[in-house]
């Protein structure tokens, strides 16, 4: 197994594709851009929803891929077998930890409760000073606008420091994200 030298980007995203085709388009575009930019994709190893889209696009463009999946989800999320590297964990917690440890930055695409859980663990670890890795949300079609508004509300109501908002960097498009990734971890 070759030792990867590429910078790694952990992508959290839906195990579903959502209703709007724009989200799958963005996932494919991100997978290709990561591969072409020499970034290794770290993700949850599924072949469903946006997870499958981003991984197939990265593999199709010749990118390095690293998947992490708990044993009990291999069937449900159709664990991809053709990834550059696949780690099977016992628990969801181990999965999140292994994904995060092997990444230089994280990106959340549109997704559901699982995506939020993964993203918020990274943000709360950052708030506690446990790491300084950048976290981005790809705000395709304004999907994350309600979340960004909620975070403003939380700060306004005094339940988080304003500095918390700086831990999550919204980007409007894949080219903008790639520019930020190159500047921050490239």
Structural contact between residues 77 and 50, judged by C-beta atoms closer than 8 angstroms: no
What's the number of CA atoms in the CB half-sphere (13 Å) around residue 41? 37
Query: What is the total residue count of the chain?
Result: 186
Stretch that binds ligand AMP, among 2-10, 106-114, 124-132, 173-181 (CB under 6 A): 106-114
The answer to the question of residue 135 lying near ligand AMP (CB under 6 A) is no
The answer to the question of residue 117 lying near ligand AMP (CB under 6 A) is yes
Q: Which of residues 66-85 bind ligand AMP (CB under 6 A)?
A: 73, 77
53 vs 118 by CB, closer to ligand AMP = 118
Structural contact between residues 58 and 32, judged by C-beta atoms closer than 8 angstroms: yes
* Sign of the CA dihedral running 14, 17, 19, 24: positive
62 vs 113 by CB, closer to ligand AMP = 113
Least distance in Å: CB of 66 to ligand AMP?
A: 14
Joined tokens for residue 73:
């989800």
Tracing tokens 């998947």 back to the chain, one arrives at 67
- Binding string, residues 39-68; x marks residues near ligand AMP by CB under 6 A: -----x-x----------------------
How far is it, in rounded angstroms, from Cα 122 to Cα 97?
A: 10
Joined tokens for residue 36:
């072409």
| DSSP alpha helix (H) spans, the chain | 21-36, 49-60, 92-101, 113-127, 145-156, 174-185
112 vs 175 by CB, closer to ligand AMP = 112
93 vs 156 by CB, closer to ligand AMP = 93
By CB under 6 A, the count of residues binding ligand AMP is 16
The answer to the question of residue 139 lying near ligand AMP (CB under 6 A) is no
Stretch that binds ligand AMP, among 13-21, 22-30, 33-41, 155-163 (CB under 6 A): 13-21
Residue 144 DSSP class: T
The answer to the question of residue 87 lying near ligand AMP (CB under 6 A) is no
Residue 73 DSSP class: G
Which residues contribute to the site for ligand AMP (CB under 6 A)? Answer: 14-16, 44, 46, 73, 77, 92, 96, 111-115, 117-118
């Amino acid at each position: 197994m070759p030792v990867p030298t590429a910078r790694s980007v952990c992508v959290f995203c839906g195990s579903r594709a959502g209703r709007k085709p724009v989200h799958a388009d963005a996932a494919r575009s991100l997978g290709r851009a990561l591969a072409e930019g020499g970034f290794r994709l770290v993700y949850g190893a599924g072949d469903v929803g946006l997870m499958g889209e981003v991984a197939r696009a990265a593999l199709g463009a010749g990118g390095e891929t690293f998947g992490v999946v708990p044993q009990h989800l291999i069937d449900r999320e159709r664990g991809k077998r053709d990834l550059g590297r696949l780690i099977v964990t016992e628990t969801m917690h181990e999965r999140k930890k292994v994904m995060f440890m092997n990444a230089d930055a994280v990106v959340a695409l549109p997704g559901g409760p699982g995506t939020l859980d993964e993203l918020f663990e990274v943000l709360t670890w950052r708030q506690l000073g446990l790491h300084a890795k950048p976290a981005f949300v790809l705000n395709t079609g304004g999907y994350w606008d309600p979340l960004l508004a909620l975070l403003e509300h939380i700060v306004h109501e005094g339940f988080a420091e304003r500095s918390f908002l700086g831990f999550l960097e919204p980007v409007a498009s894949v080219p903008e994200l790639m520019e930020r990734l190159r500047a921050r971890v490239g």
